Structure 1
Amino acid sequence: MFVGTSGDSSFRRLYADNFAAILSYALRRVGGLDDAADLVAEIFLIAWRRRAEMPPDEQARLWLFGVARLVLANHHRGEQRRHQLGERLRLELHEHLIEHDPTGDLVEVRAVRQVMAGLEPADREVLELTVWEQLAPREIAVALDLSPQVVRTRLSRARARMRALLESSPDVGPEPGHRVGIAPEEGKA
């Protein structure tokens, strides 16, 4: 049990007496003030939760350094996991870009986005959810809190407006005799 007249007042005293030392310990071992502050908060939270196990007097200070050491080790493992995940994601993205070189499509994509900017926001939203996010009308209805019939109506109207804008745009217009399609036909949802 934590030694003192009252657990709360003893803990306050422990905190006041050791905060600067624990903060300095953390600052010397992590990259920045924010990380150090998070570590110190976690160290004292653990100390508060485990105050019944805390040794008396000067031993409590040393116990805090032991807790700090373990918290710091967890922090470094977490940083290492985040770094490894970031590296893995960068590698996957690089491989994806090699397999699917998007540079050939950039001019067309830019032109289509310019045309889409001419649509009403509601029309643009249903088209983006349909084409880019590959959602079916019933799924869009849930996302937008609308009925599936309203979504299908908006989608039909948006496709017609987009088709008209594409056909009238000199940068993106279809080749002669080519029918403009906005997205693959979808089943009833």
Structure 2
Amino acid sequence: MDDDRKTRFEAVYRQTYERILGYAVRRCESPEDAADVVAETFAIAWRRVDTLPRGDEARLWLYGVARNVLANHRRGLDRHRARNAPLDTDLADLYLRPPEDGGHDVSAIAAAFRELSDDDRELLTLVAWEGLDHGQVAKVLDCSRNAVRIRLHRARKRFAKALDGAGSTGSTGSTGGTANRFAVESV
């Protein structure tokens, strides 16, 4: 029985590792953080290999696990930053210079994307970066397809509004078209 569990886990690992790593890399501040998130995600998968879904459902389940691991990771980072905020402020005042003008559109897109809530950013990136459809996103987020459709529509509208506010070119009135997909993929 142990050999069956090991074989099953290894197969899921081989089939999903790169996608889960990409998911983590796009959401973490450093490759080291991404590696930690992936390691924890697969450690959880190993502990729960008996309940791991079959087929493509395993990948979606792992996205959900990785999402929870990332949330825990971010909470830890937030606690760390809160402890270091006074020092960071002092260092920034002393050493940071204004950024050079260049790449305005990309920085405007990034700023607009950062203005979105964590939920909106997660939803948009699951669609744009991970290439998931509404049904797959629903499984990752543990909600209905209709809820995903509605949330995605609203997130795209908020992103388009943030892009318009940031003065990004190519965002006029589009609520989910090419400009928004390009913008999400560029962040």
Structure of greater Rg = 1
- TM-score band (shorter)? 0.3 to 0.5
Q: Say which structure is richer in helix.
A: 2
